Amino acid sequence: MEAYGTGTRGDALAAETRAGASSGGRRADTSRGEPLAEVPGVGPRADADGAWPRADTHGVRPRADAPGSKAAGAADAEVGALGARPDGSSRWRLTGEKCWISNAPEADFYTVFARTTPGAGARGVTAFLVPADRPGLTGTALDMLSPHPIGALAFDGVPVSADDVLGEPDRGFRVAMGTLNLFRPSVGAFAVGMAQAALDATLAHTARRDAFGGKLKDLQTVAHQVAELALRTEAARLMVYAAATAYDEDAPDVPQRAAMAKLLATETAQYVVDAAVQLHGARALERGHLLEHLYREVRAPRIYEGASEVQRGIIAKELYKELYEELYEKEAPR
């Protein structure tokens, strides 16, 4: 097995390679082999027997993060429609629904964000790690455009306790944001892998395809377009690696870098795959063709882990935050 290194950058390298090799759907926690115990901002999660099993442990299926709901948009996705009703000292009952959850209903554990303090905004959300076999927890698979393990979860008075809390009660928003900062470079890396697979197919096709008395690559318009695809793919790759490295180094600008990487890589992948289909012509639309598969796969990453519009909002917020911090430093009395 090829070694990719450690940390988030190693994960990004592995995700990109898998995307190009299999051109399949992203199963975040299966592909990452992510320890169930390690959640950003929380540290090791242990019970009486030690840490939770790893996602790659035999018989343990990948963890699923469950932030969304049918009624929730991006602004309140960390809360969704899930409420946590107190059930004695340091105990709650979870009631509500979560929808469009990766790895549901197949996962053995779910990271769940629920409202524990009404009216407290982001400070009233708690993160829980909930085993799939808890009473009252059921799930159904959803039929998506591209085959992918994704589903909906229903919570009917699911019991949780302080032992299930990730981090601290009412501080789950921090856990959610840390998780997104970790996963966004991974999504970007997978998108880069899809773009590279489409680019490789296009290079091979245009080099072989006879057209107008020569090869398709001999047409300047085609050659320039292929060069543009390569340029954009490499730029996205470098930004993803930079974001992953920043995360590993605990850099202060991780939220901005993660958002930029995810945005650029997923938008680039969409552009590259679409252009590759155009250069291949009708053959790329035939069922079973690599590009037909990629064309269906490439759409989802622009939505999950925060849609492109959300990433632009994060980037702008971080830029103005830096500006105001610089102005404050200049105007502060010395």
Q: Which of 305, 309, 329, 331 is catalytic?
A: 305
Rounded to whole angstroms, the Cα distance separating 248 from 256 reads 14
Closest by alpha carbon to 91, among 16, 144, 41, 160?
Answer: 160
Beta pairing partners, 137: 155
Those residues with Cβ within 8 angstroms of residue 285's Cβ, 6 or more apart along the chain or in another chain: 277, 291, 292, 295
The position carrying tokens 């964000």 is: 113
**41-50, long-range: CB < 8 A, 24+ apart:** 41/167, 41/174, 41/175, 41/178, 42/127, 42/166, 42/167, 42/175, 42/178, 45/129, 45/166, 47/163
Q: How crowded is residue 92: how many other Cβ atoms within 10 Å of its Cβ?
A: 24
Active site residue 38: no
Rg of the chain's alpha carbons, rounded to an integer?
Answer: 22
Query: To which H or E segment does residue 158 belong?
Result: strand 150-161
Active site residues: 305
